Amino acid sequence: MLRIVSVALFSALAACSSEPVRSLQALFQHSKGAPALSAGLRQYEDGQYIQAAKNLQGALDQGLSDAESARAHKHLAFIHCASAREHACRDEFRKALAFAPSLELAPSEAGHPVWGPIFRSVKAEATPLSIGLQQFDDGDYAESAKNLQGAIDRGLPNKERANAHKHLAFIHCASNRDRLCRDEFRKALALDPALDLAPAEAGHPLWGPVFRSLKAGQ
């Protein structure tokens, strides 16, 4: 009987495309990575950390909702912290907070002597802009670009926005996307005409000359 009711409900929802109905449909839809996420979380609770990490990463690769992604990255952070991989632990916490900026640890998690303090320090620095800049410094350019663009979309003061565009330009230049690199530098200079590169940035062989040519043509 329950299956008949469920089928009828899905049929009715499929015939309608209003926003409330789409929201209701989302309640019945599961992300592709949900089974792997569930398996990874069970394995984590059972102390099977190697297998848990594989399934959690697999779930992220298959596709998860933002809330699910934050949960997967959080547990990957726990695994890295427990194995004394602090850099990887911090990186996973940053990714979790990028998906869920209001993320907090449960009391039992927050009290952990290893990852509790690390999470709190990452949380204190965690804005999409700061996360994106840290990921840029770490060489994680794909994730950095996502967070820098997210910070811009959410809204920033002009100087911070110019800094985000500048780093997006660096990422595009480093990937030989010259037109996009120039476009991001133009956006940065429009927001902050006095913008200049730091000496280490200005000496870069890819984006240094591009920036100087645009700055000269202001």
The residue from 95, 126, 157 where one domain ends is 126
pLDDT in tens, 195-209: 999 999 999 999 999
Residue 49 belongs to domain with CATH number = 1.25.40
The residue from 96, 126, 156 where one domain ends is 126
> Which are the contacts of 191, defined by CB distance < 8 A and separation ≥ 6?
158, 159, 161, 162, 165
Is residue 18 in some structural domain? Answer: no
**Whether the Cβ atoms of residue 36 and residue 71 lie closer than 8 Å to each other:** no
Radius of gyration of the chain (CA): 22
List the one residue out of 117, 129, 113 whose CA is nearest residue 93: 117
pLDDT in tens, 171-196: 999 999 999 999 999 999 999 999 99
pTM of the model: 0.57
- CA end-to-end distance (rounded Å), the chain: 71
Which sign does the torsion angle of CA 28, 31, 35, 41 carry?
A: negative
